[in-house]
């Protein structure tokens, strides 16, 4: 059996060798067909008028906020508002029992009347003393005494008038009115409780915050603050200290930035603990939707409008940290062009430097090209930016 197995093995090897030689003969030694130049999509950059908006986070705050505290002490007699209601300046809010202050005012008025009578009597005595002194009927000392008595009566009248005014004010303060218009909080003291105006912390009765307009406070880092300063120095963008630059605002449940306001304050120093500068913008709030304390996102005018070139992000390559694009040259040969990038517009990117509006740029297929590669270009197009506030159709 062994000779038969060995003979079969040799036959298999012989057949395999013949198959291999036939394969070589069929190929005839010809090279594989050429693939041709790689196909890429090219287009010129979009040219659009761009306005840059810098985004920050902030908190809404009332323009005016008042803690309502009593200016006189006494028992709270009545409350004249609904918790959380809108109130107008001058509306009656609380009444403190006025009877002690009415009595004090009556007493002060009586004292004022007495002071007027004493002054009238002192005036008559002084006139009489002057006539008698002229007739040499009284001494000079007696005239001086009458004169001083008259001055004392005048001072007593002034004191009585001041006491009468003070008592009238205390009676007025027993009726607590809204110092500003806005939304009032809940009452913190119920009727019948004693409220105090004395001490370091008089009794807190409620609070009022203004509604329209509102402020939003936000912070920018040192780099942003310095950039705004340099733009102002170059005359490109005025400082928000002196110009009400536009600001857009978005609440947590809103799409886009529907609220338009303006800057009205920039702090006078950088916070050393956080390295940030605080700014403030003002927004009209006729419907009261912008409630103090809410979180908000804001966009502040950064720069523009200026003419910008726009390419897809996928057209930008990176080589050792340098950003570049591939530009189509003569004979369809591509060349690498270093560029300076601006901000992102969704899937698009602003090109700030290194490119012209007539350059044909590879926007799809950059992974198949290298500098000096000959390509087969196919004309393509770049979609419009989705951020309508950032880009407008060029003229």
Sorted by where each starts, the structural domains of the chain and their CATH numbers stand as 39-50+306-393 (2.40.420.20), 54-63+211-304 (2.40.30.170), 68-98+174-209 (2.40.50.100), 99-170 (1.10.287)
Listed residue (337, 87, 34) closest to 210, CA to CA? 87
Which helix (H) or strand (E) is 119 found in, with range?
A: helix 99-134
Answer whether residue 26 shows pLDDT above 50.
no
d(CA 335, CA 318): 14
Residues 79, 81, 82, 86, Cα dihedral to 10°:
-160
Indicate the angle between helix axes 140-173 and 99-134, nearest 10 degrees. 160
Q: What pLDDT shows up at residue 288?
A: 86
- 3-class DSSP state for residue 360? strand
Show Cβ contacts of residue 33 under 8 Å, excluding neighbours closer than 6 positions: none
What local confidence, expressed as pLDDT, does residue 182 receive? 93
| Residue 321: per-residue pLDDT | 81
- Which of 23-37, 49-63, 98-112, 332-346 is predicted with the least confidence, judged by mean pLDDT? 23-37
pLDDT at 30: 53
Range name among 19-33, 179-193, 225-239, 270-284 with the lowest pLDDT average: 19-33
pTM comes to 0.70
The arithmetic mean of pLDDT across residues 210-239, rounded, is 93
Question: Taking 70 as the threshold, does the pLDDT of residue 157 lie above it?
Answer: yes
Q: Rounded CA gap, 309 and 313, in Å?
A: 12
At residue 67, the 3 state secondary structure works out as: strand
Mean pLDDT on 164-172: 94
With 70 as the cut, is the pLDDT of residue 24 above it? no
Residue 32: pLDDT above 80?
no
Nearest to 6 by CA among 17, 16, 14, 21: 14
For residue 287, give the nearest of 145, 35, 86, 39 by alpha carbon: 86
Percentage of the chain surpassing pLDDT 70? 89
């Amino acid at each position: 059996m062994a000779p038969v197995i060995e003979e079969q093995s040799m036959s298999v090897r012989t057949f395999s060798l013949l198959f291999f030689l036939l394969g070589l003969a069929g190929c005839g030694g010809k090279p594989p067909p050429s693939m041709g130049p790689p196909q890429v999509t090219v287009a010129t950059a979009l040219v659009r008028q761009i306005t840059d908006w810098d985004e920050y986070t902030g908190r809404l705050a009332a323009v005016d906020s008042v803690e309502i505290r009593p200016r006189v002490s006494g028992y709270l007699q009545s409350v004249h508002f609904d918790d959380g209601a809108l109130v107008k300046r001058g509306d009656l809010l609380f009444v403190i029992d006025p009877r002690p202050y009415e009595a004090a005012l009556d007493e002060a008025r009586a004292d004022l009347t007495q002071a007027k009578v004493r002054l009238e009597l002192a005036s008559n005595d002084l006139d009489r003393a002057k006539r008698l002194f002229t007739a040499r009927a009284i001494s000079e000392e007696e005239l001086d005494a009458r004169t001083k008595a008259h001055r004392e009566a005048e001072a007593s009248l002034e004191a009585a008038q001041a006491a009468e005014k003070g008592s009238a004010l205390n009676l007025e303060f027993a009726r607590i009115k809204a110092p500003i218009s806005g939304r009032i909080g809940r009452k913190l003291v119920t009727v019948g409780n004693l409220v105090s105006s004395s001490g370091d912390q008089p009794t807190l009765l409620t609070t009022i915050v203004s509604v329209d307009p509102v402020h939003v406070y936000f912070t920018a880092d040192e780099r942003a603050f310095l950039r705004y300063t340099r733009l102002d120095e170059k005359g490109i963008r005025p400082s928000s200290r002196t110009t009400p630059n536009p600001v857009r605002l978005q609440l947590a449940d809103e799409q886009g930035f529907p609220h338009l306001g303006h800057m009205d304050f920039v702090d006078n120093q950088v916070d050393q603990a956080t390295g940030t500068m605080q700014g403030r913008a003002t927004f009209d709030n006729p419907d009261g939707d912008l409630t103090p304390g809410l979180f908000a996102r804001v966009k502040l005018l950064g720069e523009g409008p200026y003419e910008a070139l726009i390419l897809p992000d996928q057209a930008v390559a990176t080589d050792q940290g340098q950003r570049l694009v591939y530009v189509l040259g003569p004979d369809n040969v591509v060349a690498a062009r270093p560029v300076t990038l601006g901000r992102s517009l969704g899937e698009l990117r602003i090109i700030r430097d290194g490119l012209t509006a007539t350059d044909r740029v590879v926007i799809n297929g950059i992974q198949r090209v290298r500098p000096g590669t000959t390509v087969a270009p196919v004309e393509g197009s770049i979609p419009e930016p989705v951020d309508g506030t950032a880009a407008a159709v060029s003229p």
